[in-house]
Chains A and B, each alone.
Chain A
């Protein structure tokens, strides 16, 4: 036996160029397009759900935040708790003037809910059908303090405030069935006819005014028994002194009983809604994650079947010089491609869904970047995990068995 043979040149190792890995990984996909499409669809649905939920949530939050910004966080309200009948209790008559003297307060607008006074469309309406509407006396400065807008007609002015005229909140006008002010319109208010001179736009920071009919203080004192005690005072502060002013309101409004006075910031309620939206997102994200998981299992399933069906191809590739690693790499790349395909389609579909929903609601369209990159990363992760087991099976297959199986 010749020992010379051991001196023969060493055989180079088997090598697959990294650039060839991608085309090799697509061989199976190209051969079974429908199956590849369907298995990618599973991942696409999961990713689309996640991206759409994140995009819609972000867009509606953006809308709320924009709304808060527009309305301002510098509005405060002062109330004195509630009486047993659910009416707003009275504040001292000097409260409004005292509040106006706090440093940092720009505008003060007192209002008084008039106890036992209701508004009806006409004097024929039974007295109990109040429509849950309130009647409030207010100052002509109220609209400016709240930064509100008049939808139809005009707001009260020092002149009309002295006569039986009223401005209806948005909901109050709807409830009374008054849509426009094309012709002179009167309502039966506290046993007198009042002419409607204006209808307000909704006031998100003062929703109680939406369900109110507003009259001037002078006419309220003359016809409706107003005693000069405000029940709710709106305070507009300079932006950077809101917190300081807020802490002084109770003591200033009612020095005798500061514990009965409540000072609140209406924008806090809107801010809380932003947080609440964030909380409900979790549920939908969970559903999206379940869809993604199912999609991943779908890919793994298709890959396992692919490995079984392609035993002879695996055997052939081993015979042509593929290592176990090359075979495993081919199947992982294939799975990765499937998931990426699904991920890209899912991100596109999810963003489109979010955009169309936001567009219909007239929200600013915002799809968070983290949703896009996160969605793609999740798809890649699913692809790798789903591909690992089938790839290991393919790699472990003995070439002789693989070639014999046909």
Chain B
């Protein structure tokens, strides 16, 4: 007996399997040309498996954000190998890299980066724009995502009409709407007060646990770092401490 399955907008995310590495970094270096050349990442080897919640901590200039950008497939390493969902970034075309970002990864930024003149619903729907999903379907998924983060009553609001915490929740909904494999967050609570931070962390963990999503968060906030299952400490572009180890 054959069952007819309606075409799904994108192949389902492979189930989070503790044994499957979703992010692999092997002797990764990143050098920016200049005088003198800047080398924010100097040989990082790190494996993150499905469902892990990883905090990357370290002083300013320790290479956290550069490392996050490499994991987000926004940049290619100068040397070494970065594998996202099993695919090595160095070998991928711009189009394939973009596909990886659109289908496998979700991003959250300190500055939220919401489109000012667009409603919360459409902001979240924009997160699915480059998957080639139909507009009505994008908006349906966006509404679900906003309802999950508790903003079902603010669908039509523009970002300016929302509080900082609400704006970041919209950004989280945008990152999660497409059920990515990995969410990468760069100082997500950097612009929030402590109450909003606590609320946001609780929400993030609840959502991620429900979906089995892997999270890598760059943070200065001990409260955020402490809520994660693994802490990786960076200094001068190298890993100096890792609570999880390579094979937890």
Contacts and interface: CB of A to CB of B under 8 A. Distances in A.
Interface of A: 1-2, 5-17, 19-20, 23-24, 27, 30-31, 312-313, 315-326, 398-400, 403-404, 406
Interface string B110-128: 0101011110000000110
A199 B203 CA distance: 98
12 contacts: A7-B86, A12-B131, A14-B99, A15-B102, A15-B130, A15-B132, A23-B135, A31-B117, A319-B101, A320-B107, A321-B102, A399-B69
A116 B101 CA distance: 100
B74 interface: yes
Contact of A14 (B85, B115, B130): B130
B99 A8 contact: no
Contact of B94 (A6, A20, A27, A324): A324
A219 to B, nearest CB: 88
A400 B127 CA distance: 18
Q: Which secondary structure dominates where chain A touches chain B?
A: helix
Interface in B1-34: 10-11, 14, 20-21, 24, 26
Contacts of B117: 27, 30-31
A399 B129 contact: no
B99 A320 contact: no
Contacts of B26: 1
Contact of A320 (B24, B69, B96, B129): B129
A7 B129 CA distance: 27
Contact of A11 (B24, B87, B111): B87
Given A15-B99, A15-B130, 19 more contacts: A8-B87, A9-B14, A11-B87, A12-B10, A12-B131, A14-B130, A14-B131, A15-B102, A17-B132, A17-B135, A20-B129, A20-B135, A27-B115, A31-B117, A312-B111, A318-B101, A323-B94, A400-B75, A403-B69
B129 A6 contact: no
Interface string B80-95: 0001011100000011
B100 interface: yes
Interface of B: 10-11, 14, 20-21, 24, 26, 65-66, 69, 72, 74-75, 83, 85-87, 94-96, 98-104, 107, 109, 111, 113, 115-118, 126-127, 129-135, 174
Contacts of A14: 95, 98-99, 101-103, 130-132
B1 to A, nearest CB: 25
User: B74, B107, B115, B118 — which one has the most chain A CB atoms within 10 A of its CB?
Assistant: B74
Contacts of A23: 135
B81 to A, nearest CB: 10
B98 A5 contact: no
B129 A24 contact: yes
Contacts of B126: 317, 320
B113 A400 contact: no
B131 A400 contact: no
Contacts of B115: 27, 313, 316
User: A5, A30, A321, A325 — which one has the most chain B CB atoms within 10 A of its CB?
Assistant: A321
Nearest to A31: B117
B74 A11 contact: no
Contacts of B11: 9, 12
Contacts of B131: 12, 14-15, 321
A48 to B, nearest CB: 29
A379 B87 CA distance: 45
A323 B85 CA distance: 19
A320 B86 contact: no
A340 to B, nearest CB: 21
